[in-house]
Structure 1
Amino acid sequence: MKIGELARITGASVRSLRYYEQRELLSSGRTAGGQRFYDQDAVERVTLIKELFAAGVSSDAMVQLMPCIHSGTATPAMVERLAHERARIDTEVCRLAATRDRLDDLIVTTRAAIPDAAGDGAPSE
């Protein structure tokens, strides 16, 4: 598939896909005319890259981890790095859950302070 189709399917921008290639997170072939083309596995790979970025994994870490993720071959250092990233994500999940809980408390407290917040919007008498 061409770069535009991969971008459409994955929701990644063409610019992002080129960046992923530059960082060697993604690879493509070239047509005789020099256009990039990707195999079907690229969809899963781009999806994973986007998920890792969303979880706060840096592109440098991904460069180190991708060989282990996709080929199944790993060094002890790669496994340790995967474990480190998972622990970091667990910490972030806990922090986000605590923030969500605080927001829930604020919502309850704030609603309770608003006259007729649970009612139909008509002024109380």
Structure 2
Amino acid sequence: MRIGELAARTGVGERSLRYYEQQGLLASDRTPGGHRDFPERAVDRVIRIQELYAAGLNSSKIGQILPCMRDEDGGPSVRATPALVAELAAERDRIDRMIGDLVRSREVLDEAIVAASGRIAAEA
């Protein structure tokens, strides 16, 4: 499939797809006219890349972890190093801390909403 179709099917811009390819995260063949030709499995790969970005990983880390992850076309081709696993666990711990902070922030807002609602009701 051409880059425009891949972009449409994944919701990821063509510029980002070119960047993924430049970083070695995504691969394509070339048509005789020089256009990129992506395999069907590229859709799943782009979605996986987006999920990893959303998890807070950068392209370098994604490049290290992608070969260790199960893809649509089979199992992982390599095992992650202990150092990479430790880095990923540290990133997960950071996200857990952020989630805890967000939950506490929501609780404070809930208290403020209740307090503000009580004042409005008392004034009415």
1:79-98 equivalences in 2 (<5 Å): 79-98=85-104
**What's the CA shift string for 1:51-95, capped at 9, x where partnerless?**
222222122221222221242521222322332232222222222
User: How far does residue 116 in structure 1 lie from its aligned partner after superposition?
Assistant: 8.0
Contact persistence 1:3–1:36 (CA under 8 A): yes
Query: Over aligned residue pairs, what C-alpha RMSD do you find?
Result: 2.2
Q: Which position in structure 2 is the counterpart of 1:28?
A: 28
**Residues 114 and 84 of structure 1: CA distance in aligned 2, closer, same or farther (over 3 Å):** same
Letter in 2 for 1:99: S
The equivalent of 1:111 in structure 2 is 117
Amino acid paired to 2:51: E
Identical residues among aligned pairs (%): 47
Aligned positions of 1:9-88 closer than 5 A: 9-70=9-70, 71-74=76-79, 75-88=81-94
Task: Compute the displacement of 1:43 (Å).
Answer: 1.3
| In 2: Cα distance, 1:52 partner to 1:96 partner | 21
CA distance in 2, matches of 1:59, 1:106: 40
Give TM-score, length-normalised by structure 1.
0.78
The alpha-carbon distance between structure 1 residues 77 and 106, as it changes in their structure 2 partners (threshold 3 A), is: same
Unpaired runs of 5+ residues, structure 1, are: 118-123
Cα distance in structure 1, aligned partners of 2:94 and 2:78? 23
107 and 67 in structure 1: CA distance in 2 versus 1, 3 angstrom threshold: same
- Structure 1 residue 109 displacement after superposition: 2.3
Structure showing greater Rg: 1
